[in-house]
Structures are given as structure tokens and as C-alpha cells.
Amino acid sequence: MVTGGFTVAIDGPAASGKGTISRALAAHFGFAYLDTGLLYRAVGAKVLDGMMPEVAARQLEKDDLESDALRSPEVAQEASRVAALPEVRAALTDFQRSFAARAGGAVLDGRDIGTVICPEAQVKLFVTASAEVRAQRRYAELSGKGMAVTLEQVLADVLARDARDSTREEAPLKPAADAVRIDTTELAIADAVAAAVKLIEAAQRR
């Protein structure tokens, strides 16, 4: 039985499979899904267009999250830079917390969902995979969409963001103390999703 306010927090490094698991959980349980990385990517894209980071974060609108260009390694890098700014994170907090509290349940993925945004989440997952596998998967995804990227560029983006995201002062990437780790390096999507579904069913019975 899904009750209002049931929140699933999914964190982990770049391209580890967070969104894939989140979307599958949202479809399976009828939860709403928020890809919080998209918020930081949208701010990063506006900064690349010349806007001040805090202004961009405060003025963010739904339409700003639609563009395919947000997926590029250049925007990802800028997202990671603006994500280190406390005033940018603060401007995005309320929206994420309201989303998490939706009746019917919500799944949010990002870097600080289980640690900062929703420390009370009923289920917390920390999704990882080796950097090489993550870069290979992201490279296949982006080149499949027709984006002109190289594997070297994608690996460099993933490594640089992981390092910056893990070492920043504000809301660094790290597992919550009570997060369950899922390493997808050698896990098929269906098996990763099945593991997550089991954890949520167990939490719903509690």
C-alpha cells in the first residue's frame, strides 16, 4: 500500500544508473519522479549563456528543463561547477522538498537526496558502477542520440564531476549512513531494478 509522502532517495556518481532505476520505480509503483540533476544542468546551461548562477537558479522554470542540449558533457561540467555554490543549492531546495512530499509517493535522484534534501526518505539507494563502465554507457547513450562526443571526453567529464561533486563543502556526493548500495557494474538493468523494487516493497510493509 503506497501512502502519501513515501519518498525514495537515489544518489550516486555520474551515469551510474540512477535515472534508469528511478524511472522504472516510478512506473512500477506510480510514484512521481524528479531528476534533480536536470535542475543543476539547466542552471549550468544558463550560466554558459551568460547568466549569474544564483539568478538562474532562482528564476528556473519548467520549460528550462526540456532541452536535449542539457545532456552534453559541457553542460554537465558547468552543472557540477554551479552545484558547488551554496546559494544555487539553497535556491533549489524548497522545490525538491515539496516534490518529495507529494501524495502518492516520489522518487528523486541526485547527489544529496538521502543526505540533505530528504534525510527522512523511507528508502535510500546509493547506485555505483566503475568509472569505465559508466563512461562507456553514457558514451553509447549520447552518441546514440546523435551527439558528437568521444569516449575520452565522456570519461574525462565523469571523472572530473565525480571528483568535484565528492570533495565540495556543500552537500558533497556521499552515501547516507542508512543507504543501500547497488553496484550496477555487472548488473543488467532488469536485475538492478528488481533489487530496488524488493527494497521498496520491504519498506512499504514496515
Ligand X SMILES: Nc1ccn([C@@H]2O[C@H](COP(=O)(O)OP(=O)(O)O)[C@@H](O)[C@H]2O)c(=O)n1
Which part of the chain contacts ligand X (CB under 6 A), choosing from 32-40, 98-106, 144-152, 185-193?
32-40
Give the CA count within 13 Å in the CB-facing half-sphere of 6: 20
Which part of the chain contacts ligand ADP (CB under 6 A), choosing from 11-19, 50-58, 60-68, 76-84?
11-19
**Nearest residue to 147 (alpha-carbon basis) of 155, 138, 135:** 138
Nearer to ligand ADP (CB atom), residue 17 or residue 53: 17
Nearer to ligand ADP (CB atom), residue 15 or residue 84: 15
**Nearest residue to 116 (alpha-carbon basis) of 37, 43, 176:** 176
Residues in contact with ligand ADP, shown as a per-residue x/- string from 102 to 141 under the rule CB under 6 A: -------x---------------------------xx--x
Helix, coil or strand: residue 125: strand
Is residue 94 classed exposed, middle or buried when 0-12, 13-18 and 19+ CB atoms within 10 A define those classes? exposed
* 78 alpha carbon, distance to own chain's centre: 15
Nearer to ligand X (CB atom), residue 112 or residue 124: 112
Q: Is 144 left (phi over 0), alpha (psi -120 to 50) or beta?
A: alpha
Chain contacts with ligand ADP (rule: CB under 6 A): 12, 14-20, 109, 137-138, 141, 184, 187-189, 192
Contact positions toward ligand X, by CB under 6 A?
A: 14-15, 36-37, 40-41, 76, 79-80, 83, 110-113, 161, 165
